[in-house]
Structures are given as C-alpha cells and as structure tokens.
Structure 1
Amino acid sequence: MYLLKLFGLLSIFVYSCACYKFLALFQTSTKSHHILASKLFKEIANKGHEVTFITPFEEKTPTKNLNVIPVKSLQTFFCARRNSMFEFESANPMEKAKFLFEISYNFTEHLIQSKEVQTLLKSNEKFDGVIIYQYLNEALLGVAHHFKAPVILFSSMPLYAPESFLLSHPTPPSYVPNILVEYTGRMNFWQRLRNTFYDTSMIVYYLWNYLPKHRELVRKYIPGGPDLYDFVNNASLILINSHVSANEAIPLVPNAVEIGGFHIEEPKALPQDLQKFLDDSKNGVILFSMGSIVQSAQFPAEKRKALITTFSKLKENVLWKWEEDDFAGLPKNVKVMKWLPQSDVLAHPNVKAFISHGGLLSTMESVYHAVPIVGIPVMADQKMNIQLAVSYGYAVAVPYQELSEETLTEALNQVLTNPTSRNNIRKRSFVMKDRPIKPLDNALYWIEYVIRHEGAPHLRYPGMDLMWYQRNLLDIVGFVLAVIFSVVFTIIKICKVLLKGKSKAKTVSKKKKNN
C-alpha cells in the first residue's frame, strides 16, 4: 500500500512537471491585443514551458523560457493603415468586412513571408503545440501543419461569422448577431433577416474570394506546398476572449473555451503624478480613451472642439489618452497622457465614468471595475459591444457621426447622475468575478490538456467532419423537398390521366347518344 501511494505521488510530480515547447504566432500590430498575447505567453513560460513568440512587438522585460522574436516591419505596415479606420465608421457591414479581409490578408502575408518565419520553417525545430492568434489569418495554419503539432487558436473577441462557419462552431444568425452589426441577440424579424443576409454574404465572399488567397499563401511559403483545405478546420482548441458578463451567452462546442477578462489583474501601484491626480479629484474623474487602434488625436477639428467644450464645463476632472506631444487650449480640469495603465486607473474609486470606443478589452475592464460607459464606437465589434452594454443598462451610446457638445453632455449626465447605470454594472462585475476558476488558469489548463492528450481529438464533435450543407441538414431538406415534389408531381400526373380518361369516356358516350 505504501509503495502504491509513493508511486501515485511520483506520478503526480512527473505529471505536474511535464514541460512543453510552444510556437506562438501573432500577426496583429495593435498594442491592446499584444497585451493579451503577452499576458498569456508569459504565464505559459512561468509554468516552466518554453515559448517561441513571433510578434510585431519587443518585450522590454525578459521572461525566463519566453523567446520573443519581433517582426518590427509589421508595426510600420499597420501605422500606414491606421488613418483608414475613421473612413469606415459609416460604411455598411459588407464594406467593413471587405476592408478587414484585405488588411488581415496583408498582415498574414507580411508575417508568413518574413525572414523570421521563413528561417524557422527551414530549421529543425520541433514543437509540442502551435498557438495562433485567430482573426482571418488561415494561412498561418500551414505553419502548424509544417511542424505537425496540435493547433491552439486564440481569439481576442467572439468568433467572426466566416470563422465560426469554417471551424464548424454553431452561431445561428437567428440569435447570434454578426460582430459588424449593431444588434443584440434579441433581434426582431427584419434584424434577423439583415443579420442572416450579412452572415451569408460574408461567408460566401470568404469562401470564394478570401480563403483561396490564403490557400495560395500556404502553397507559396510553406515547404512542400501543402493544401490548406486539407487541415483548415483541424484546430484542437480555441480560446475565446469572451464571457457572459460582457457578452451574450451562445452555444459552445467542447473544444471552445471562454477566457474573457483573463488579462485583468489586481490593481498595481500607479505613477506618482497619476496617483496624485486621481486622489485629488474630489468631484470624481472621467477617463477618456479611444484605445490603441483609433486615436483621439485623429479626431476632426469639430469633434475635438466638442470634446474640449464639454470637458471644460464639467465639475469632474478628465483623464484623456492623447497620443501627441502638444495640446492647444487644454482646459484646466483635463490631464492628457500618451499611454496609461487603463485597468489600474479604472480601479481607482474616484473614477466615475469611462468615455470609450467600446473595444472588448476596455468594455471588460469597465465591467470588472464597475465603471459605467459612454460609448463612441468606430469600427469592428465596437458598435455591437456598446449596443449590448446599452441593453444591459450600464452604458449610453453616442454615435461618432452624432458626437457633439450636446450629445456628449447629455450622455455624461445620464451615467453620472443616474444610479441605475452604476447598479447595473456592479451586477455585471459580480458575474465576471464569480467563477469557479480564474480565466487565465482555465486557459493554461486547457492548453496543457490538449498537449497531454495528443491534440485531444475526442473534443471534436462529429459535425466538424461533415460538409457545411450536411451539418445544416440542407441535404435532408433537399431530399424531403424532392420526395414531396415527386409525390405531388405523380399525383398531378395520375389526376390528369384520370381526368383525361373521364373526358374521353364522356366524349365517346356523347357520340353514341347522338348516333
């Protein structure tokens, strides 16, 4: 018995000390998304695993077991496209989708053909798993295929309609809104009709135009020229940065795990000047940030004037993330900073409201720290995030095109004076924090689980191996309709024959009588 217990303890020790080697590919050049990736991969490295992290960013502080390989040219490429974001604010969902398809394809090609990735592909390196940032970058799956390692996808937001379709994840347009529309899951008939149209249009465009381009990238840049279509939906696991506290509940398959809010930590000490500003703001502070992609410094003059005029009339102080060195005509109650520790600021008790672009990370940080939102969404999923926050009762939306002194003042008055907003977001904050396991620990568990179980093929539900028309029962519907058509056609034919026979019989009978 003693030997059996000793063996069990040794087994646990060996199990807990198993170290794996990961390759992490991250092509997007947005700082906020890099924060997500860096947080995850540093934690994996801290657990004793070895991580080779290919990213547009350098890490200022080295981490043991984390080998960061920066592809700096990706940042230059991104900066050249940054000014395009405002142009698409009023575009329809299909125009936005095509823009995102195009820019994502360019990012992917830039990374996969880079010297850093090509050198790695020509090396004799071996990996236990490949972790890929998932957002319209399917050609990177060819890298994982090359190393013959299980694929773990990481999505910084709920899955996009084409990606859900490709990965065989159930996202019915009847109650799962496309991330580029301003709907919640409770849509009326016309919204469901439009949502279905946009989902279908994007999927068709993706399959017939976008995916073939990625197929060619794989053939061109991956040794051996494998066919992307042979392994495009073979991911062992997908980690999704979503949670029911900030997103709506949707059906998830076994190999899809929600880890929303995993990047949020307990508040750290703030820089001294920032701490003093927040502490001395006895009437409260309003935080204003448009995130890392859209920059408030790029606002047109009339929008900027509306912001300054509104802020100058507030009794509260304003902390503004402003990306340039100079700011003419800054009101006395406004402090500007190029970059700030947003989550730590939101944790300060004097912060009363957050004027935000509605990015998912910002929304989750607001929910976690229970700070109501005034949303000025511009692109991607931001409009949907803000619309959802409005439906949950802790946000007020100010559409970018309608941004003025009057609309912003009214929105701020609502979130600052109406206790309902703060009460609602406190409830959501409790939902986010009330979990059986911390989301980061959950992510690490499933990453290790997939490697322990050699890709965990048992997590794949049978529908993933069906063709899309089989999975959606379109072949069954077609068969049933064909049977019904055949039966109806046969009945009609028989009726015609009988009626024709009857008609002939009457004609013959009539002729006999006349004779």
Structure 2
Amino acid sequence: MKIISLTVILSLILLIDYSTCLNILGIFPYQGKSHFFVFRVYLRELARRGHDVTVISHFPEGDAPKNYHDVSLAGSSEAIEGDVPIGQYNKYLLLLGTSYFLTKKGVENCETMLANQQVQKLIKEKPKFDVIVVEQFNSDCALGMAYKLQAPVVGIMSHIMMPWHYQRLGVPYNPAYVPFHFLGGGTKPTLYERVERTVFDVYFRYLYKFYTQRNNQNTLAKYFDDIPPLEDLAGDIKFLLLYHNFILTGSRLFPSNVIEIGGFHVVEAKPLQGDLKKFVDEAEHGIVYISFGSVVKPSTLPAEKVKAVLNVMKQLPQRFIWKWDDQTLMMDKNKLYTSDWLPQVDILAHPKTLAFMSHAGNGGTTEAIHYGVPMIAMPAVGDQPANAASIEESGLGIQLLAEDLTEENLLNAFKTVLDPKFLQRVKKLSEAWHDRPMSPIDTAVYWTEFAARHSNFTFRAATADVPFYQYIMLDVYAVLILIFISIVALVKAALKLCRKSKSNNTKEERVRTTKKKAKKA
C-alpha cells in the first residue's frame, strides 16, 4: 500500500512538473567567453528543471540535454579571450578604446545574429515562447527579436550595471556614492573621481544611444518594418537578473524588478589531479594563486612588473600557481607552477589556497568570496576597477593598481592578505555571502518562471517614467522659489505702502501743526 501511495505521489509530482514546463528562448549575441561561462550554468539549470530551452549564442553545448537546443553563431565572430593588455596604457586612452570596442561589437553582434539563417528561420516560424531571456550588455538588438516573437523579456547580466541601464530601469545613479562601471573610487570617490564619473557617464550613455542603439535600430529595420524604439522596448523588460550581491557590492537602491543573483555560476569543486595535485599537496606553507582571467593577457605585463612579482615570490614561504600564456616565465619549479589553463574553482576551493591575486573580474571575484579566499585586486579594464573597489570596501581583499606594482608594494600587499586575522575576516564574509533565504540559482530560476506566469503585469519602477526635471524636482523648486519671491515682493510692497502712508501722515501732521501756530500768532 505504501509503495502504491509513493508511486501515486511521484506520478503527481512528475505531472505537475510537466504541466509547468516552459518554452524558453535565450539570446546571447556577444561572443565574450567569460560572460557566457556564467550564463550557461543558469541555462542548463533551466533545462535540468524540465523547461524546453533554446539558446542563440556563439558557444553551443557539446553535451546538451535533449531539451536544450542551440542556435549556433559559432564561427561568425572570433571568441573574445586573452586579448587585453595590462599595465601599459593611460587610463583615459584605455577608456576610449573600451568605448570603441563596446560600440563596434554592439553593432556587429546585431548584424551577425540577424544575418544567421537559423535565427531568420526561428523568427519566421514564430514558435510560442513563454519567456525570452536576453543578455543586457552592449546591444539592445535582441529586444527587437523578442518583440517579433511576442514574449515577456527577462534581462540578465554577468557583471555590474552599464551606464545606460540605470535610467531605463529607474535605478538611481549618483556619482557621489554609486560606483561607475569603468572607473574606481567605489562608494567614497574623491571630488576629482566624481567629476570624472560624471563626464564619462554622459559620454558612454550618449555614445550608446546615438551610435550603438541607432545602428541596431537601422539593422533591425532591414528585416522588419514595425520594431518600436529600442529604448521603449528596454523599458518593458519584466526583470533584470543582476550578478550582484550586497555582501560584496554594498547596499544599492534597486527597484523591485532588479533582482540580485550573484554567485550561481560557481560549480562544485573537484579534487586536483596529476602534477598540480602533487605541487599543492607538498606546499608546506600553503598556496597563492595568480590569474588574470580569460580576457586579460598576463604576458603583456611589463618586464619590470613581472620581475617584481617573481622577486616577491622568493621572499615568501608559500608556493605559487600562475596562469601564464607562454613558456617564458622561468623560476624554480618547486616554487612556481605555471600553465595556460588551470582549474580555477578547484584551486580556490582547496584548503591550502591562502590568497588570490587577480584582475578583479566578476567571475573570479565571485569564486573567491564563495570559497573565502583573500584577494589582491589589480584591475585592467571594463568593470574591474569598480569590482576592485568593492573587494577592498567589503573586506575581501585590497587593491594594487598596475602602475603601483613594485616589489615593496606587492610584498606589503601579500603580507596583509596572508595575515591569519585577515583570512579569518574573509571566511566570515564568505559565510554571510552564503547565508541567503534562497540560493542564487533558485532565485534566478524563480523570477524567470514568475515573469512567464505573470506576463500580463508590468513591474517597472515608476521612477523610470518620471521626466528628468520632475525627478530632480526642478518644477517643485521653481514653484517654491516663486512662492518665496512672491511673499518677499508682497512684504516689500506692504512695507513700502506702510512707509508711504506713514510719510503722508507725517506731512499732514506738519501741516496741521503749522496752521495751529499761525492761528496763535
């Protein structure tokens, strides 16, 4: 009897899962490997939970489950990996180069995606999707596709917000306390940094609006004649799944439809293997891991900086593992292990890993706080300066800019993060990071399903639709100033009238006095 009851219960559960299965489309036209590395965990989880998932991307799955379908853009553009130099360029030249890269790729990604025959077939067939998940990065082209397919849209990011996303979602941006994507300073910028942020915020927003977004609109118009303004479509996004968590990035003023999901991409660590395992196991004083991620090219670090790092290694008892892209790095193999590919999560999860020197990419930073590993953050480009500021402010680690990388500074930085008290603080921070009412992957999946279940409702913040002059209360201040001026004017007029009346009374009194004196005479 118990077996029959259990069978019935399991059957009902399966029926419920089947009845709530969604048809989901994911659109990821950007060819950044570090971005999609985060998204694929979420997309595969949607498929694992029984949803039918179709994904447009440059990274088709080699072992995809039956309900995961790729619309591959692979080969149409070269994947972005290991191209960015570190510590060689002026900050402002790098920012201008970044802006050129973002706008150029945003336009190219749209053209490449829409020209794809599989994508065109998908749009013409117009299958019924319950929800469409769109990467929010350097192009809104995918929103035009979503409009044609008539499904609710959920935005997703693998980084902090770009400058053009604040206004469309009604998220307050104030350079006095809100970090800027491409610059440092964190939540306590100097006056110079506030001016810097204000100028570059305007520059990036208008460049995006008048170049990328306009070109995306024109590209869409080649295929469709009824796409509304992309900024309007961006305002209709149901939810933005933001790769944040306040433990690391600090408390922000987000509306209800901006959901923090930072941390879901960190997979379960596996035991180290082979020579790497032997190297770590024999590290009597522990391990320091150095990696500048998949985008920053470590061999572009100036020779004197590399020499400084190697000299510091000799002065510390720990062994070092460095992700290095060529064979030029020479040092005692008992002290330094190098490879152009390393199992980062497995290394960071190992109990002998005591510190992590990084470019402050969002993925590696998330993995470090997940496993409670102190960081030395040396940012290069993109959101890394803002991430580095969060690392320092949260207590996860300290910043060391590439231009400040000297033997003395680096040695002091390592002594700071390798201090047992610092490590203990980071472990506590990691505990807080994990202490959530719902796991980040469950949160991401829940709000995706929520958007599909309640597609007829809008969750847009009212602040997103308030005109700028009303948002900064110019009209209210104008009315209050007008009232104040009117009161002052009335008071002045009354005083003037009183003075005039008093003057007239004085004159009449003098006339009467003169007449009385004349009569007496």
- Stretch moving more, 170-179 or 440-449: 170-179
Alignment check: 8 A CA contact 2:87 2:302 kept: no
Calculate percent identity across the aligned residue pairs: 27
Counterpart for residue 360 of structure 1: 362
Distance in 1 of aligned mates of 2:271 and 2:349 = 11
Give TM-score scaled by structure 1 length.
0.85
Deviation at 1:346, TM superposition (A): 0.4
- Stretch moving more, 433-442 or 102-111: 102-111
Deviation at 1:135, TM superposition (A): 1.1
Counterpart for residue 439 of structure 1: 440
The DSSP-based 3-state class of the residue aligned with 1:477 is helix
The DSSP-based 3-state class of the residue aligned with 2:450 is helix
Distance in 1 of aligned mates of 2:149 and 2:478 = 41
Distance in 2 of aligned mates of 1:280 and 1:270 = 13
Alignment check: 8 A CA contact 1:150 1:236 kept: yes
Counterpart for residue 412 of structure 1: 414
Unaligned runs of 5+ in 1: 1-7
- Stretch moving more, 373-382 or 14-23: 14-23
Deviation at 1:303, TM superposition (A): 2.7
Deviation at 1:277, TM superposition (A): 2.1
The DSSP-based 3-state class of the residue aligned with 1:231 is helix
Counterpart for residue 449 of structure 2: 448
Counterpart for residue 518 of structure 2: none
Unaligned runs of 5+ in 2: 1-8, 515-521
Distance in 2 of aligned mates of 1:323 and 1:222 = 45
Amino acid at match of 1:438: S
Counterpart for residue 255 of structure 2: 253
Counterpart for residue 4 of structure 1: none
Amino acid at match of 1:371: V
After superposition, what is the alpha-carbon deviation per residue over 1:295-354, rounded to whole angstroms, capped at 9, x for unaligned?
212323333333333334443221111223x23524322111222221221010111111
Alignment check: 8 A CA contact 2:103 2:138 kept: no
The DSSP-based 3-state class of the residue aligned with 1:257 is strand
After superposition, what is the alpha-carbon deviation per residue over 1:119-178, rounded to whole angstroms, capped at 9, x for unaligned?
433333332111111113122211111111101100112222321112222344332221
Alignment check: 8 A CA contact 2:180 2:197 kept: yes
Counterpart for residue 470 of structure 2: 470
Counterpart for residue 461 of structure 2: 461
The CA RMSD over aligned residues, in Å, is 3.4
Distance in 2 of aligned mates of 1:424 and 1:242 = 20
- Stretch moving more, 49-58 or 190-199: 190-199
Amino acid at match of 1:470: Q
Amino acid at match of 1:267: A
1:336 to 324, 328, 338: 338
Counterpart for residue 237 of structure 1: 239
The DSSP-based 3-state class of the residue aligned with 2:55 is strand
Deviation at 1:274, TM superposition (A): 2.4
1:185 to 167, 177, 187: 187
Deviation at 1:214, TM superposition (A): 3.4
The DSSP-based 3-state class of the residue aligned with 1:224 is coil
| Larger relative contact order (CA 8 Å, sep ≥ 6) | 2
Please say if 1:281 is aligned against 2:306: no
Distance in 2 of aligned mates of 1:161 and 1:482 = 35
After superposition, what is the alpha-carbon deviation per residue over 1:442-497, rounded to whole angstroms, capped at 9, x for unaligned?
1111111110112542x3333334334434434433444455556667877x5899
Distance in 2 of aligned mates of 1:403 and 1:75 = 35
Q: How many residues align?
A: 499
Counterpart for residue 5 of structure 1: none
Counterpart for residue 43 of structure 1: 45
Shift of the 136–486 alpha-carbon distance from structure 1 to 2, 3 Å rule, reads farther
After superposition, what is the alpha-carbon deviation per residue over 1:337-393, rounded to whole angstroms, capped at 9, x for unaligned?
222221221010111111100112211211111111111111122122222222333
Deviation at 1:270, TM superposition (A): 2.9
**Aligned positions of 1:193-208 closer than 5 A:** 194-208=196-210
Please say if 1:102 is aligned against 2:103: yes
**Aligned positions of 1:95-174 closer than 5 A:** 95=96, 98-99=99-100, 101-115=102-116, 116-174=118-176
Distance in 2 of aligned mates of 1:199 and 1:283 = 46
Distance in 2 of aligned mates of 1:480 and 1:26 = 49
Distance in 2 of aligned mates of 1:401 and 1:314 = 22
Deviation at 1:240, TM superposition (A): 0.7
Amino acid at match of 1:461: A
Shift of the 394–40 alpha-carbon distance from structure 1 to 2, 3 Å rule, reads closer
Deviation at 1:103, TM superposition (A): 4.2
1:65 to 64, 67, 73: 67
